[in-house]
Chains A and B, each alone.
Chain A
Amino acid sequence: MDSLLTVKNLSVDFQTDQGTVHAVRGISFDVKSGEILGIVGESGSGKSVTMYSIMGLLTDNAEIRCDQLEFQGVDINPTHFEDKKGYLAAMKKLRGCSMSMIFQDPMTFLNPTMRIGKQLCEPILNHTNLTKQQAMQRALELMALVGIPSPETRIRQYPFEFSGGMRQRIIIAIAMANNPLLMIADEPTTALDVTIQAQVLELIRTVSKQMQSSVILITHDLGVVASLCDRIHIMYGGKIVETGTDREIFYSPNHPYTAGLLSCIFDPREEHSELTPIQGSPPDLLSPPAGCPFVDRCEKAMKICKLKMPEYTQLSPTHSSACWLNELAKGGSEG
């Protein structure tokens, strides 16, 4: 499979009143076409910031450093553009067309004073040569596709007339308006109830299959990831700590954080499972630890973990993890 999106050594800093927040600290990954990639992390792990920086949606106090950022072989690295205007113009062309985003809270994305139909037509009219009538026709198709009953009447309604689940469906319809190659879903089901969540996840699955587009799913819910994603990145403290296929992550987690996460989630199939929580709180990214970000909460932490970030150890062609325990094991087998 080709790589649709390539990110190399991306860092994002924010200048705030308190000081510099190092939200993302040198992460690299790629997205293959047609796959569903899960990025799992707690709030403040930098998962959303990563996606916003790729989409060019960050606020002005953000500072992006990046070695390589390519989408479909096109360079969209903001540091390679001469001025901000040119970069923003280039991103505007891409956004809503070949890459699009599904937001967590539909109400902040939808304009409350605009009819749903008009909001659906906007990306279509912006990026294609269709006439207004044709765009309306396409909007109706999209609404039917995402499972909104009687689209002919609902297309003339306003967002407040839709329920939370229906709004999220509209957001998905807007995101897929121009058959994007990549959809980034930022916690698409966090604000929804379980029964609605099941409906929306099912919709994302079928839509991505139908259009053969890649999806990056950002979430903190491992249950959601397991039922949807092919590959998973685990982020912690602004770094990717482990990468693998769904089975590798769930069946043979390597990094203590991944293992810890798995042991503190609930499995409805088990009758008596004990929760083993990870102690403490996530690192403060105003002054992130020099070594492994997880060191202060890790059961197996060693002296070196505090001093230096470990390199990635390749455990299989698809599975890699950054932990000193792997180095220790290697050293043990060598010596």
Chain B
Amino acid sequence: MNQTVTSEQGRNLFAPLSEDEKNNEFIAVESKTYLQDAWAHFRKNKLALISLYFLLFMLLLAIFVPIFSPYSYYEQDLTMTNVLPCAAHPLGTDKFGRDIFVRIMYGARISLAVGFAAAFINLFIGVIYGGVCGYFGGRLDMVLMRFADIIYSIPSMLYVIMVMLVFGSNIFSVLLAISVSGWIGMARQVRTQVLSLKEREYAQAARVMGAGHWRILFQHLISNSIGPILVNMTLMVPEAIFTEAFLAFVGIGISIPQSSWGSMANEARSLLQSHPIQMLWPVLAISLTMLSLNFIGDGLNEALDPRKR
């Protein structure tokens, strides 16, 4: 009895396999979009991940601390000057009795806003300018890139100081000043990317299909350069933050009493001997923010560029 069963099974095993049972176009890899894949890689870089969380935390503090704090960035309390960190003033007060914590967070608003706004402006100009140069090439590329070279060849501090003098000390002139020459690096990078990508067969396939120039440029070329563009952008943010802080420090940036990390460092300079701790806070804020942005840039670079894994 037992034997018949096994031989029965044996015969079934040797029955032909139907076409439906074959699975010959099988793909085992789980489908992932580019960004999902990049995020999975980014997450593996602990330093970059911590930096990202730090920056988000900073952003939340910058938004909410000035709203909910009992102190404001400009209110002076001359009875409470140069207080050391305590329960009422977590980071102490400055020589006018203003709460340093609130001022740092208010400065963070300005620094981060300037940093990201400048990066976005440069992204916008740089991508279009570089994309057009790389895609159309030839004489247009020659003329446009030489023009960019000329702008780039003049020291950027010169523009900055000139713009500040003409338009006055406010956040918009700071942005304008940073953006005059800031987009050129981005434009160059996008141009190189587009130059090499436009020779790829998918770009040529799009041309053969009858796609227009703008479709090829944005849909195929720039979307495939998104990696280097994002990396370049994250590295542009700290540059802009630094420029803003520098301007405020030398006294031609955001006007008093608005606080900026640079102007706070400038004010603390006179008390460096007696209250060095007041210098510590703005410097710490600047360096931690810039450091974490650089780490994020590194992490993105690794996550977005398959060759660097």
- Which residues on A are within 8 Å of B, measured CB to CB? 17-19, 279-281, 283-284, 286-287, 295-298, 300-307, 324, 328, 331
Contact = CB atoms under 8 A, between A and B. Distances in A.
A281 B25 CA distance: 6
The majority secondary structure among interface residues of chain B is loop
A284 B28 contact: yes
A280 B14 contact: no
Interface residues of B, number: 20
Given A284-B27, A286-B29, A287-B28, A297 B13 contact: no
Interface string B13-30: 111110001111111111
A280 B19 CA distance: 11
Contacts of B211: none
Contact of B24 (A281, A287, A303): A281
Most buried by A among B25, B37, B40: B25
Contacts of A297: 22, 24
Contact of A328 (B14, B22, B25, B26): B14
Contacts of A17: 37, 40-41
Contact of B17 (A283, A287, A306, A331): A306
A140 to B, nearest CB: 39
B12 interface: yes
A301 B22 contact: yes
A280 B22 CA distance: 10
Given A17-B40, A306-B21, A283 B26 contact: yes
Instruction: Return the 9 tightest CB-CB contacts between A and B, nearest first.
Output: A280-B24, A304-B13, A296-B24, A286-B28, A284-B28, A301-B17, A287-B28, A296-B22, A297-B24
Nearest to A279: B24
Contacts of A324: 14
A303 B29 contact: no
B17 A295 contact: yes
Contacts of A307: 13
A304 B17 CA distance: 9
B22 A303 contact: no
B28 A303 contact: no
Given A280-B25, A298-B22, A300-B16, 13 more contacts: A18-B30, A280-B22, A281-B24, A301-B16, A302-B14, A302-B17, A303-B12, A303-B16, A303-B17, A303-B21, A305-B17, A306-B17, A306-B21
B23 A18 contact: no
Contacts of A300: 16
11 contacts: A280-B24, A296-B26, A297-B24, A302-B13, A302-B16, A303-B15, A303-B16, A306-B17, A307-B13, A328-B14, A331-B10
Nearest to B309: A17
Nearest to A327: B14
A306 B15 CA distance: 11
A300 B15 CA distance: 10
A233 B219 CA distance: 46
B19 to A, nearest CB: 9
Contacts of B14: 302-304, 324, 328, 331
Contacts of B24: 279-281, 296-297
A139 B37 CA distance: 49
A100 B120 CA distance: 54
A296 B25 CA distance: 9
Contacts of A18: 28-30
A280 B27 CA distance: 12
B60 to A, nearest CB: 32
Contacts of B13: 302-304, 307
A295 B22 contact: yes
B36 to A, nearest CB: 12
A313 to B, nearest CB: 15
A239 B128 CA distance: 52
A303 B22 CA distance: 10
Most buried by A among B10, B14, B21: B14
Interface in B1-58: 10, 12-17, 21-30, 37, 40-41
Nearest to B41: A17
Contacts of A328: 14
Most buried by B among A279, A283, A303: A303
